[in-house]
């Protein structure tokens, strides 16, 4: 059995790998491209998603691929399905860190904290708060009530926010809407939080019509993927004050070019896809999950976080 794994995780993985495994440790995209052909199992995450996808494409013999990330839009899902390759994702690894970042963005918008920081940079003592919104008694819609969405809801409950979730199959749960039920309700909410997976069905999930349906005093939060929001429509909505503001941990593309108009959109807080990295235990959690799934794979047992390659999550 040949494994191709990230050199960054070597200290966490190597002492626990099976004695009969041949392990290839990659440090660069070129290493991954050269090492993935012939491998049976791969953890091929790289900072540039297209590099990860290319390494998986080249690994025609891969039977199991794992990723630290929850979103799997970098992977060639059709080719993987045709080969019979299994894919497991990192749901749960970054759940709390991403959820905390979403709430951080909400608080920053509510209190105008960006203006506070800029005033400090100018050594200016503000006489009044630039933001006066309170989270208590506000209403939040969380589109995508999986692990991260649910954790956001739990945290917001402590702030006194009334939370409504959106799931593919709500199953009669209280305060839960189905995928066809939330759009007519957009005007009910002070916060619209996007936490759904990036699939062909969710591309531009929030567009001009959805932004127009929101309250002018409402805020948009996106901690999912940049493709879920029509950015041109969002820029227009922010410039015309059709919504109050947006926190965007993700953009399309990433990195966002320095001259992109989104940087200068009024009351937009952009946090450069840092949410999942705002922790110290990501690799430890990912290594444990990989080792658990490796043992399950060798024993022929069900895998943790196996992705449905047809649904894309």
> Which of 3.40.50.720, 3.40.1710.10, 3.30.430.20, 3.40.50.1000 would CATH assign to domain 95-277?
3.40.50.720
Q: Alpha-carbon distance 87 to 68, whole Å? A: 11
16 given a catalytic annotation: no
| Whole-number pLDDT of residue 211 | 98
Mean pLDDT of 172-182: 93
| Whole-number pLDDT of residue 313 | 86
Q: Could you tell me if 36 and 57 are in contact, meaning their C-beta atoms sit under 8 angstroms apart?
A: no
- For residue range 142-151, what is the model confidence (pLDDT) as tens digits? 999 999 999 9
Burial call 238-276: b when 16+ CB within 10 Å, e when fewer: beeebbbbbbbbbbbeeebeeebebeebebbbbbebebb
CA-based max dimension of the chain: 68
Q: Which of 228, 207, 231, 274 is nearest to 73 (CA)?
A: 228
| Whole-number pLDDT of residue 70 | 84
Assess if CATH 3.40.50.720 describes domain 2-93+279-299. yes
Q: Could you tell me if 111 and 133 are in contact, meaning their C-beta atoms sit under 8 angstroms apart?
A: yes
- For residue range 98-114, what is the model confidence (pLDDT) as tens digits? 999 999 999 999 999 99
Q: Is residue 172 over pLDDT 90?
A: no
Compute the radius of gyration of the chain from its Cα atoms. 21
162 given a catalytic annotation: no
Q: How far is CA 186 from the centre of its chain?
A: 22
The single residue of 54, 225, 242, 247 carrying the catalytic annotation is: 225
Rounded to the nearest 10°, the torsion over CA 29, 35, 37, 38 is -160
241 given a catalytic annotation: no
Q: What is the rounded end-to-end Cα distance, in angstroms, of the chain?
A: 27
- For residue range 39-62, what is the model confidence (pLDDT) as tens digits? 999 999 998 989 999 999 999 999
| Whole-number pLDDT of residue 156 | 98
Look over the chain and give the mean of its residue pLDDT values, rounded to a whole number: 96
Q: Could you tell me if 56 and 32 are in contact, meaning their C-beta atoms sit under 8 angstroms apart?
A: no
| Whole-number pLDDT of residue 105 | 98
Q: What are the sequence ranges of the domains in the chain? A: 2-93+279-299, 95-277
Q: Could you tell me if 212 and 192 are in contact, meaning their C-beta atoms sit under 8 angstroms apart?
A: no
The single residue of 54, 151, 167, 273 carrying the catalytic annotation is: 273
Length of the chain measured in residues: 313
| Whole-number pLDDT of residue 139 | 98
| Whole-number pLDDT of residue 143 | 98
In CATH terms, are 2-93+279-299 and 95-277 the same topology? yes
Q: Alpha-carbon distance 182 to 168, whole Å? A: 11
High-pLDDT (> 90) share of the chain, %: 92
- For residue range 259-303, what is the model confidence (pLDDT) as tens digits? 999 999 999 999 999 999 899 999 999 999 999 999 999 999 999
The single residue of 254, 277, 281, 301 carrying the catalytic annotation is: 254
Q: Is residue 169 left, alpha or beta, with left meaning phi > 0 and alpha meaning psi from -120 to 50?
A: beta
- For residue range 191-215, what is the model confidence (pLDDT) as tens digits? 999 999 998 899 999 999 999 999 9
- Residue 298 belongs to what H/E stretch? helix 282-299
Rounded to the nearest 10°, the torsion over CA 153, 155, 156, 157 is 90
């Amino acid at each position: 059995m040949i494994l191709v794994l990230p050199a960054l995780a070597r200290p966490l993985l190597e002492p626990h790998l099976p004695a009969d495994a041949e392990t290839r440790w990659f440090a660069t995209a070129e290493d991954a491209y050269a090492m993935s052909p012939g491998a049976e199992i791969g953890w091929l995450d790289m900072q540039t998603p297209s590099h990860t996808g290319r390494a998986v494409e080249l690994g025609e013999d891969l039977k199991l691929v794992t990723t630290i990330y929850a979103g799997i839009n970098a992977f060639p899902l059709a080719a993987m399905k045709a080969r019979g390759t299994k894919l497991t994702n990192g749901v749960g690894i970054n759940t709390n860190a991403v959820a905390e970042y979403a709430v951080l963005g909400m608080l920053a918008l509510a209190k105008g904290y960006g203006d506070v920081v800029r005033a400090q940079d100018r050594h200016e003592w503000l006489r009044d708060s630039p933001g006066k919104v309170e989270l208590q008694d506000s209403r939040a819609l969380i589109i995508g009530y999986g692990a991260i969405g649910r954790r956001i809801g739990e945290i917001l409950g402590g702030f006194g926010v009334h939370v409504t979730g959106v799931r593919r199959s709500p199953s009669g749960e209280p305060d839960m809407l189905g995928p066809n039920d939330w759009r007519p309700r957009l005007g009910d909410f002070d916060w619209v939080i996007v936490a759904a997976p990036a699939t062909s069905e969710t591309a531009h999930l929030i567009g001009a019509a959805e932004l127009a349906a929101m309250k002018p005093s409402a805020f948009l939060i996106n901690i999912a993927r940049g493709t879920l929001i029509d950015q041109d429509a969002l820029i227009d909505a922010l410039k015309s004050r059709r919504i109050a503001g947006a926190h965007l941990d993700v953009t399309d593309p990433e990195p966002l070019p320095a001259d992109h108009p989104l940087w200068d959109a009024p009351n937009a807080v952009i946090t450069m896809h840092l949410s999942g990295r705002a922790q110290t235990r990501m690799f430890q959690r990912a290594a444990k999950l990989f080792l658990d799934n490796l043992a399950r794979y060798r024993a022929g047992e069900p895998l943790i976080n196996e992705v449905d390659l047809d649904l894309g999550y």
